Amino acid sequence: MRKKFRKFKKLFCNDYIFSVFQKIMNILTGLVTVSLINRYLGPSLKGEYTYITNIVTVLAVILGFGFYESYPFSKRKKKEKQLEAYLNVFFMQFLFYLLIGAAIAFVTKNRIVTLVAVLVPVQVFTSQMQMVGIVEFIRFRQILQIVNYFIDMLLTLTAYLLIPQSVSVLLFILLIKDILYIVVYLIKCGYFPKKFVIDTKFIVFLFKFGCFAMLTKLLIELNYRIDVLMLKLFVPYAEIGLYSVGSKLAQYVWLIPDAFKEVIYARTAKSDAVNEIKFVLKLNLSITVFIILFILLFGKVIIYLLFGTDYIAAYSVTCIIFFGIPSMVLYKIISPLYMANGKQKKCFCILLASVIANMTANMIFIPLIGKFGAAVSTVLSYSICGCVFYISFIRDYHLKWYEGFFFSKEEIQKIKKYVKNFVHS
């Protein structure tokens, strides 16, 4: 028994293994949560909820100004008292936006507007603390995310069982979840707001670095969400609700490369990790191909079991969206290397081309074929983004085109040996 415990303990000491475990737990609880949300709201209200949360996310990115994106870069440069300096700025931003949100809520006196006005500053602060967690204490962050997803599931279950249909209730649950996230992070950092000292040079640095970082992050989010925002111009909320099924399932599949991406962020904050990145690419692409085949074969059954009869019509659009996932794997795994090396302008240009292609295709295809046009546009933009990043990666680091796609014989032997040793240990 002790031997088995030591084996699992050793296994979970590996950052990648534990990160994947965390994402798997998040996927399981997240799928239950999404299933409850979809059944609770129905396609029409789910479309409205998706539209509102996408707006909140985009606003949060803009108002964050990309300040937190410079954190890994500063860590690599060994900036003095880095954590305290960043947390002071983050907290000041939060208070300022909260005051603006309170003023908006007071003027409008609308419940949903009030929740959105409060959600935006809270999401800004949450994103900032997540970056701190990735760089400073990745294992704690991973455990916290597991707990956070579980709390989200329990709160959503409570709403599903006890409270009548309401978009406002689910927005309030998002708010509670994010506030808990922030409070726990601040306690972990040992941070308590003191007398703020404004370092002008530091603020200038944040704006200078953050400008492109924010625009880059905005382009990322637009690449994920512009389809929903543009669908609202042409189709009813019910169609957006169906489309959101495929979009959300794809986001949960992205949690797998995200697990590796977070570790790569931590690695590249110290040095380049090209060989690691190559191996992680191969592993994630292999997993992604298997998942796509699984969805093609059993997707309709999965959608029925998770979301009910009302959402079976989402199967076709889900299959189309999933074909864009391999390209996003390329982007997610490679981009941390460029960000850590301060090459945010390069990331920005690639993403800009992708978003322009996405918007153009959406304007052409959505009026013609509705939600299917949005799905086709999404796959096109993801393909442009991922392929350009990969081409840039192999050129910059003088690699062969196949090194990120196919395992070498030596790598296969190492994987087999690792699995064999683990099974028989």
Looking at residue 367, what is its pLDDT? Answer: 92
What is the distance in angstroms between the CA of the first residue and the CA of the last residue of the chain?
12
Looking at residue 110, what is its pLDDT? Answer: 81
Looking at residue 424, what is its pLDDT? Answer: 53
Looking at residue 197, what is its pLDDT? Answer: 67
Looking at residue 99, what is its pLDDT? Answer: 92
pLDDT (tens place) for every residue of the chain, 425 residues total? 555 555 555 555 666 677 777 778 888 898 899 899 999 999 899 998 988 898 899 999 999 888 887 787 777 666 667 788 888 888 888 999 999 988 988 888 887 788 888 899 999 999 888 888 877 777 788 788 888 889 999 999 999 999 999 998 999 999 999 999 888 888 888 877 766 666 778 888 888 888 877 887 888 788 878 888 899 889 888 899 999 888 888 888 877 777 777 667 666 656 667 777 888 888 888 889 999 999 999 999 999 988 888 899 999 999 999 999 899 888 888 888 777 777 777 888 888 888 899 999 999 999 999 999 999 999 999 999 899 989 988 888 888 888 778 777 777 777 776 666 555 55
Looking at residue 243, what is its pLDDT? Answer: 92
Looking at residue 87, what is its pLDDT? Answer: 87
